């Protein structure tokens, strides 16, 4: 059972994490299995990554030290009901479902002696650049948290947090890639509107985003300071900044993230 991991759900995030674990070398393909009821999807995942695929989770619980729950929050209760008979206090259960609090799993499993870690990763796990927050229940010891952290740090960066902050993580970084993709899309369209060929607009927009993020990280300067370095008096940048300020760009981004945080909290309400 050592160093074996079973994924319940082989969708977008399940695949991102499986690929991340294999590409990082943390797990061999033969130590990973997936339970995925959709046959086409199951075949794709097991063929692509050379892992074992099952139609249901029974074998995973029997064969895996760590179980990673990667199904939609809306079907988690059904998945836990089907898992109840196989769960033991030896399993390390890691869940990435948005919104659902750890108490939801304990209630659904009808026991409070399981080791459960709630994680919120994001899709850049596909290229080992995920941002994840995580929090364990009272049964998780330092070794369990370390095992989880090791997984998360192989697929990107992670921060341990109090569980009460995981909805904030979900709204900020869990959903965050979508906001960045929307911004990238808008920059590319703007380049095309200004007359650039699409491939040129794509290259310039994406390199600008990549370079700016690297500059932020490497310089350790505040975004406002770096923005001032771009903004010449009476120049082009301030003309654009004026429009962004007038249309409340920062406020819109903050409102959007707040909406995602609130939706995560709503998903956790199970009455």
Ligand X SMILES: O=C(O)[C@@H]1CCC=N1
- Known binding residue 107? Answer is no
Enumerate residues 153-192 that contact ligand X by CB under 6 A. 170, 174-175
Provide the token pair at 46: 């097991």
Q: Where are the beta strands (DSSP E) in the chain?
A: 5-8, 32-35, 52-54, 66-69, 92-95, 115-120, 130-136, 156-160
Q: For 54-140, where are the alpha helices, taking DSSP H only? A: 58-63, 76-83, 102-109
What is the smallest separation between the CB atom of 216 and ligand NDP, expressed in angstroms?
A: 22
Q: Single out the residue of 6, 9, 124, 136 in contact with ligand NDP (rule: CB under 6 A).
A: 9
Closest contact distance (angstroms) between CB of 176 and ligand X is 8
Check whether 268 is labelled as a binding-site residue: no
Separation between Cα atoms, residue 197 and residue 173, nearest integer Å: 32
Q: According to the annotation, is 133 in a ligand binding site?
A: no
Q: Is 12 annotated as a binding residue?
A: yes
C-alpha 55/C-alpha 1 separation (Å) is 20
Residue whose C-alpha is closest to residue 127's, from 261, 262, 24, 238: 24
Least Å distance, CB 132 to ligand X, is: 11
> Is 9 among the annotated ligand-binding positions?
yes
Residue 155 CA to residue 131 CA, distance in Å, equals 8
User: Is 73 annotated in some ligand binding site?
Assistant: yes
Q: Angle formed by the axes of helices 198-219 and 223-230, to 10°?
A: 130
Choice between 166 and 188, CB closer to ligand X: 166
Gap between the Cα atoms of 125 and 132, Å rounded: 9
Among the listed ranges 36-44, 102-110, 194-202, 209-217, the one in contact with ligand NDP (CB under 6 A) is: 36-44
94 belongs to the binding site for ligand NDP (CB under 6 A): no
Site for ligand NDP contains 265 (CB under 6 A): no
Q: How far is the CB of 90 from ligand NDP (least distance, A)?
A: 21
Please, are residues 176 and 121 in contact by the beta-carbon 8 Å criterion?
A: no
- Per CB under 6 A, residues contacting ligand NDP are 8-14, 35-38, 41, 70-73, 75, 79, 96-98, 120-123, 174
- Which residues contribute to the site for ligand X (CB under 6 A)? 98, 170, 174-175
Binding-site residue ranges for NADP(+)? 8-13, 70-73
């Amino acid at each position: 059972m050592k160093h074996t991991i079973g994924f319940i759900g082989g969708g977008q995030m399940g695949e991102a994490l499986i690929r991340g674990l294999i590409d990082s070398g943390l797990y061999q393909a033969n130590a990973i299995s997936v339970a995925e009821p959709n046959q086409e999807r199951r075949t794709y995942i097991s063929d692509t990554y050379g892992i074992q695929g099952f139609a249901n989770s029974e074998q995973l619980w029997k064969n895996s030290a760590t179980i990673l729950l990667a199904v939609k929050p809306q079907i988690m209760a059904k998945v836990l009901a089907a898992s109840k008979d196989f769960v033991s206090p030896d399993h390390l259960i890691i869940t990435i479902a948005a919104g659902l609090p750890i108490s939801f799993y304990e209630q659904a499993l009808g026991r409070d002696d399981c080791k459960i870690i709630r994680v919120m990763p994001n899709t850049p796990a596909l290229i080992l650049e995920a941002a994840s927050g995580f929090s364990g229940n009272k049964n998780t010891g330092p070794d369990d948290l370390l095992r989880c952290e090791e997984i998360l740090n192989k697929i990107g960066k992670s921060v341990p947090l109090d569980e009460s902050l995981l909805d904030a993580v979900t709204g900020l970084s869990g959903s965050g890639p979508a906001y960045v993709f929307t911004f990238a899309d808008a920059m590319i369209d703007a380049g095309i509107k200004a007359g650039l060929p699409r491939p040129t607009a794509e290259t310039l927009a994406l390199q600008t985003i990549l370079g700016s993020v690297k500059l932020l990280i490497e310089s350790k300067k505040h975004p406002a300071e770096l923005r001032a370095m771009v903004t010449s008096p009476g120049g082009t940048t301030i003309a654009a900044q004026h429009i962004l300020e007038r249309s409340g760009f920062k406020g819109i981004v903050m409102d959007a993230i707040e909406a995602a945080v609130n939706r995560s909290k709503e998903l956790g309400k199970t009455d």
